[in-house]
Structure 1
């Protein structure tokens, strides 16, 4: 299901009116991700870095999920073994984004 929902005939997230309904749903999910990052980073909607950072965040999530899509381990086993790694991946991304935002503002 993961492959169908996120990869098959995927369109660009900045296409405001995709033809396929699945791409409309994907874009809505991506908008939620952008909203969460915008609030966490306190960055303006029109700031071009928001789209870039959201894509980077999505690629990281996609890498994590895609890596374990066909794992023989249960979701519970994966979280037991790798939950702290997943948490740290998100934390490192947010720290990096905040650091870059701070450098831009202080330049």
Structure 2
């Protein structure tokens, strides 16, 4: 199927406050995924803190020459934080991508 040409032109200004402003007056606001980004930030902090503590415990076991030293994989709270962080980061990225796809399709 071939589309007919309309001989119409539209200028697009990409900005910071608004994502795009068209010359015909349409404004597209910047995307706000603040909820999931906030959650991802919180979980990033938890993940970093837990990872640091896990590394310290692993080093302590190594230095004390414990019979059964624990590995990084044996700490489940750290793994939970890693999964939650990844989940919220992915959700924010997916929402952003979806918004841009819908906007460009429109």
TM-score > 0.5, shorter chain as reference: no
Q: TM-score, normalization: structure 1?
A: 0.36
- Greater per-residue strand proportion: 2
Q: Which has the higher contact order (CA 8 A, sep 6+)?
A: 2
Q: TM-score, normalization: structure 2?
A: 0.36
